[in-house]
């Protein structure tokens, strides 16, 4: 299944092809490709080059590790993510190494890294589904995440599956839904919040 976006303005085709499926194939992700995905994440921009992101990764072949990370997801996410070949729990370092001050943009920088990973995955024919539905304390315990780091999100990575591979029909139905986005006028303003930028016209 392909769901290429229909943007209002020209964008890079890779970005138009990116979307987040609920149905994954059981096909494993090759280790060399996984390395490239996280290499892409590694080269994301970050404040003061702190690189506050950390990734706990489990593949289906590691049954114990995979089950440990899967158990950190909310039950609704577990229903479909259990079929993904790769699961990730993310965490961020909450203070700058140089001075110990709080890094208020750590989550922003993690988002940039995850965006790089997602774009690299799309180029390579993979899909990424990012999740906020995580039991953060369970993730801390399961991953032995130390003080000074905070668990944040989860990511499923893999090759897209066919509708008949869905754990539940509802998951295939969600994958078939039309992709929609708010118009630029609702999210891009001039110097004053809520007033669309004049150059959008």
Neighbour-count burial for 125-134, b at 16+ CB within 10 Å, e otherwise: ebbbbbbeeb
Q: What are phi and psi of 160, to 5 degrees?
A: -65, 145
What is the model's pLDDT at position 89? 98
Which of 177, 170, 175, 195 has its CA nearest to residue 185? 195
178 CB neighbour count, 10 Å cutoff: 6
What residues pair up with 68 in beta bridges, in sequence order? none
Q: What are phi and psi of 128, to 5 degrees?
A: -130, 135
What is the model's pLDDT at position 158? 98
Distance between CA atoms of residues 141 and 8, nearest Å:
45
What is the model's pLDDT at position 9? 95
User: Which residue has 């024919």 as its token pair?
Assistant: 125
Q: What is the pLDDT along the chain (201 residues), one digit of tens a residue?
A: 678 999 999 999 999 999 999 999 999 999 999 999 999 999 999 999 999 999 999 999 999 999 999 999 999 999 999 999 999 999 999 999 999 999 999 999 999 999 999 999 999 999 999 999 999 999 999 999 999 999 999 999 999 999 999 999 999 999 999 999 999 999 999 999 999 999 998
- In whole angstroms, what separates CA 84 from the centre of its chain? 13
Instruction: Give the homologous superfamily in CATH for domain 13-162.
Output: NADH Oxidase (3.40.109.10)
Give 27-70 as a DSSP string: PPPPHHHHHHHHHHHHTS--GGG---EEEEEEETTSHHHHHHHH
Domain extents in the chain? 13-162
What is the model's pLDDT at position 201? 82
Q: Rounded to two decimals, what is the model's pTM? A: 0.95
Could you tell me if 109 and 53 are in contact, meaning their C-beta atoms sit under 8 angstroms apart?
yes
Could you tell me if 94 and 152 are in contact, meaning their C-beta atoms sit under 8 angstroms apart?
no
- Half-sphere exposure of 37 toward its Cβ, with a 13 Å CA cutoff? 26
What is the model's pLDDT at position 3? 86
């Amino acid at each position: 299944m392909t769901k290429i976006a229909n943007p209002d303005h020209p964008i890079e085709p890779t970005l138009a092809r990116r979307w987040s499926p609920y149905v994954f194939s059981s096909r494993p992700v090759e280790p060399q490709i996984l390395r490239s995905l996280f290499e892409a994440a590694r080269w994301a921009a970050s404040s003061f080059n702190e690189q506050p992101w950390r990734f706990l990764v489990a593949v289906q072949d590691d049954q114990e590790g995979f089950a440990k990370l899967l158990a950190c997801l909310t039950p609704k996410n577990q229903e479909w993510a259990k079929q993904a070949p790769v699961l990730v729990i993310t965490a961020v370092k909450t203070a700058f190494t140089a001075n110990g001050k709080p890094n208020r943009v750590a989550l922003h920088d993690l988002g940039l890294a995850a965006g790089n990973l997602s774009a690299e995955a799309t180029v390579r024919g993979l899909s990424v589904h990012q999740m906020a539905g995580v039991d953060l304390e369970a993730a801390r315990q399961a991953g032995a995440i130390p003080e000074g780091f905070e668990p944040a999100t989860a990511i499923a990575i893999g090759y897209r599956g066919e509708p008949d591979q869905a754990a539940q029909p509802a998951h295939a139905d969600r994958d078939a839904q039309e992709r929609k986005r708010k118009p630029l006028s609702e999210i891009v303003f001039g110097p004053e919040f809520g007033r669309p930028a004049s150059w959008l016209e």
